[in-house]
Every structure is written in C-alpha cells, then in structure tokens.
C-alpha cells in the first residue's frame, strides 16, 4: 500500500452534537486505523426535505455538497440511533438525496458500513438493519456484519468519549474491514 490514505466519510444519523452515535464516529476517527482518514460529515441538519421538484437545476447547495462529499469519499461509515424502531427521519432524508439522480446516486457502488449505538439493549439493531437494507436497494456495497452497541451510555464517559475496550476493538475491526473492501475492489 502507498502512503495515500483512503478517505472514509462518517455520517451520523443523529444531529445532536453530544449523541452516542456522533461519539462512536469520533472514536472511529481517533482509533487511527492504518491507511484510513475519517472525515466527519456535519451537513445533515441543513438538508431540505427531499423533493423531485428540487432536482436538477433547482438542487439546493446542501444537497450538492452532500453528493460531492459522498462521491469524493472512498467509502462511507454510517452510525445511526434508533427512533421508534427505525432510523431517524434526517438520515432517511440524507439517503433519499444520496440516491438521486435515480440509478446514478452517489451511494451507487459505494462501499458502506452501518453501525449504531443506543441506550437500549439491542444497540439500534433495527435501525442499522433498516439503513443497510435501504442502502442495498440504492446499489451501495454494504459491508456484511454490523456493529450495534447496546447500553451505549455505559460505554462512554461524560464527554461522549468511548471508554469500552471491546467496543473500540469491534469498531476498529469494522473500519479495517471497510478499508479492505475498498482495497479489494480497486485491485480487481
């Protein structure tokens, strides 16, 4: 491998700055997995609700910025909480924007890993599964096997810094597998 690092765009399904999922992504960045640079995406809150009337020449700048960020990344890491048994509306809106234009969306053929954290015992498992299903339908190359962190509030300190070593190891494994999937794809 060369000195060039793969760029992974990290997207949180929660827009709250001190969320467990924001903390999970910040921890992924801090782990320093070899050959990887993680960029934290912060534009979810500025995306307008998707409408076909806003496509083409009417596309708002935040949607264009999202499209560029996804297309310029080698891979995407999404961390989602679970709201009412599913993914948050803001994340679904982001995925809708990322699927356009139809058949040519930024997520098409993009390696993506989905992880999630929640205070509940299942660690946002339903939201992670739903998000992975949507991404697969959009044509993304979704990494098999997901990380779900249950009782996540007990694994972070008061500054939302991941303290649990087993979770750090699992998170590092997901990021490494995502990196390896990009490298395998480019070797073909």
Q: What is the pLDDT of residue 3?
A: 66
Dihedral of alpha carbons 110, 134, 28, 88, sign:
positive
pTM of the model: 0.95
What's the pLDDT at 17?
84
Q: Would you list the domain boundaries of the chain?
A: 6-187
Mean per-residue pLDDT, 127-137? 97
pLDDT at 188: 65
Of 100, 95, 94, 89, nearest in space to 53 by CA: 100
> Quick one: pLDDT at residue 102?
84
Confirm if 135 and 92 have CB atoms less than 8 A apart. no
* Helix (H), strand (E) at residue 38: strand 36-40
| Model confidence pLDDT, tens digit, residues 52-98 | 999 989 999 999 999 999 999 999 999 999 999 999 999 999 999 99
- At residue 25, the 3 state secondary structure works out as helix
Domain 6-187, classified CATH 3.40.50.300, yes or no: no
Model confidence pLDDT, tens digit, residues 68-78: 999 999 999 99
């Amino acid at each position: 491998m060369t000195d060039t690092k793969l760029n992974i765009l990290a997207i949180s399904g929660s827009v709250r700055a001190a969320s467990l999922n924001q903390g999970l992504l910040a921890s992924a960045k801090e782990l320093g997995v070899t050959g990887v640079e993680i960029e934290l995406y912060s534009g979810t809150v500025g995306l307008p609700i998707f409408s076909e009337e806003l496509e083409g020449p009417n596309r708002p700048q935040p949607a264009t910025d999202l499209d560029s960020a996804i297309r310029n990344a080698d891979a995407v890491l999404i961390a989602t909480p679970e709201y009412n048994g599913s993914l948050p509306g803001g994340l679904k809106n982001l995925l809708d924007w990322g699927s356009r234009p139809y058949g040519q969306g930024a997520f098409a053929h993009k390696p993506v890993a989905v992880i999630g954290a929640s205070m509940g015992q299942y660690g946002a498992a339903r939201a992670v599964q739903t998000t992975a299903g949507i991404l697969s339908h959009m044509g993304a190359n979704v990494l098999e096997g997901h990380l779900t962190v249950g009782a996540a509030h007990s694994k972070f300190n008061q500054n939302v810094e991941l303290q649990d070593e087993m979770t750090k190891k699992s998170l590092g494994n997901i990021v490494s597998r995502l990196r390896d999937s990009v490298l395998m794809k480019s070797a073909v």
